[in-house]
Structure 1
Amino acid sequence: MASEFQRRKVAGVFEAMDADRNGFLEESDFEALTQRWVGIRGWQPGTEDHERMRAIMMGWWSAISTMSDADHDDKVSLDELMTVVDQLPAMDDAVYATAEAMFDAIDENGDDRIAAAEHQQVVYAWKGSADGAEEVFPKLDLNGDGHLSRDEFRELWSGFWRGDDPASPSQWMFGPYQTS
């Protein structure tokens, strides 16, 4: 069972993804997330980048709804999502596949690394604000080279979704949030 710390950090991401603030994740929330992200980058509908981002976000919705929507009402509550979070320690393939897809979405210029500015974009897309993202990026940059490699990102992503250590750098994947 997820700890209170895990619930708080996942709840922060959940709230950011819940675009209409109705207390549930729905397909329309992932459409809104897609629109925020492509809007930041200026990608127009029909372009390769726009369609790739939409496929990644809608694929994530499909996975979350399939695994979490216990009552099949096309809505996922925080409690339903937490049942999946409880299962993530035994789901290496799924966690790492999601990390790969998200890395590709964040790596705007395709140089196989995530710069601080790219990380700020994703924090803004998720939360509507990049406040504090500059301060947390150095915590994420495990080797201090100014970028997140694919391997660094994968471990940070996994640590966020499966970890329970408030001191771990992975807790800052989605930028600063209230931890108490």
Structure 2
Amino acid sequence: MAYSWDNRIQFAIKFLYDIDGNGYLEEKDFMCLAVRATIIEGKGEFNTAKLQENQHIMLSLWEEIAELADFNKDGRISTEEFRQAVTDCCAGKRYEDFPQAMKMFIDSNFKMMDTNDDGIIAAEEYRYNCCTKFAIDDISLVDEAYNNLLNDDDRRRGGITLSRYQELYAEFLGNPKDDNPGIYLFGPLSEFFPSS
């Protein structure tokens, strides 16, 4: 069940959005994401203009997610609220149909993964991203997940382009079936939480 839709949603909350680890999504998480994106994109260097750009992206994403998912309007989004919002806004949809701020976040995430700025996420960059998100004790599992992610065009290009990443991200969040390559976008998932 590691690649079930429910587990993928749990993963997105725990490892992509809930930066402070308190079990809820809040505005603070997205401000922390802006700082993280700035430092990663700058390879350790801090750029105020880039921070402001990332803050705009992340604050827009927070506002959009809060509008779509904070059903009780308490300023915090629970796992259940997030799951319902993803179901409403992403399930069965392509990247082009996602909310605008979500698309900006996806594109920003690609930039963070593409550490050498060549427009392709290669195996080395994928490994690095996986190992900085969660515990990995067997790198061959990461390589296997990467190979499962790729199609023939990806292999010819030497990795994943932005447009392919967008497609895979839409599958990761929006396709409830666990038989699509998008399930491997963030590596070899474990069962993080029991299904509810």
TM-score exceeds 0.5:
yes
CA distance in 2, matches of 1:123, 1:44: 23
Q: How far 1:56 moved relative to its partner?
A: 3.1
Aligned to 2:114: 107
Give the direction of change, closer, same or farther, for the CA distance of 1:18–1:42 in structure 2 (3 Å limit).
same
Q: Which amino acid aligns with 1:24?
A: Y
CA distance in 2, matches of 1:14, 1:173: 15
CA distance in 2, matches of 1:36, 1:156: 23
| Stretches of structure 2 lacking an aligned partner (at least 5 in a row) | none
Structure 1 residue 7 corresponds to structure 2 residue 15: no
Residues 120 and 160, structure 2, Cα contact 8 Å, conserved in 1: yes
Q: TM-score, normalised by structure 1?
A: 0.77
Structure 1 residue 80 corresponds to structure 2 residue 89: no
Aligned to 1:138: 147
Q: Higher relative contact order by CA 8 Å / sep ≥ 6: 1 or 2? A: 2
Give the direction of change, closer, same or farther, for the CA distance of 1:172–1:65 in structure 2 (3 Å limit).
same
SS in 2 for 1:33: helix
Give the direction of change, closer, same or farther, for the CA distance of 1:96–1:80 in structure 2 (3 Å limit).
closer
Structure 1 residue 167 corresponds to structure 2 residue 166: no
Q: How far 1:81 moved relative to its partner?
A: 0.6
Q: How far 1:53 moved relative to its partner?
A: 3.6
Query: Can you list the C-alpha shifts for 1:133-174, whole angstroms capped at 9, x where unaligned?
Result: 444222222222321022321221111011123232211112
Q: How far 1:116 moved relative to its partner?
A: 2.8
Give the direction of change, closer, same or farther, for the CA distance of 1:11–1:138 in structure 2 (3 Å limit).
same
Aligned structure 1 segments of 4 or more residues deviating by more than 4 angstroms = 128-132
The RMSD of aligned alpha carbons is 2.9
Aligned to 2:98: 95
Which residue of 37, 42, 45 maps to 1:43? Answer: 45
CA distance in 1, matches of 2:53, 2:116: 14
Structure 1 residue 116 corresponds to structure 2 residue 114: no
Structure 1 residue 69 corresponds to structure 2 residue 67: no
Residues 37 and 108, structure 2, Cα contact 8 Å, conserved in 1: no
Query: Can you list the C-alpha shifts for 1:102-123, whole angstroms capped at 9, x where unaligned?
Result: 4345434443322233334544
SS in 2 for 1:114: coil
Which residue of 126, 149, 155 maps to 2:167? Answer: 155
Aligned to 1:23: 23
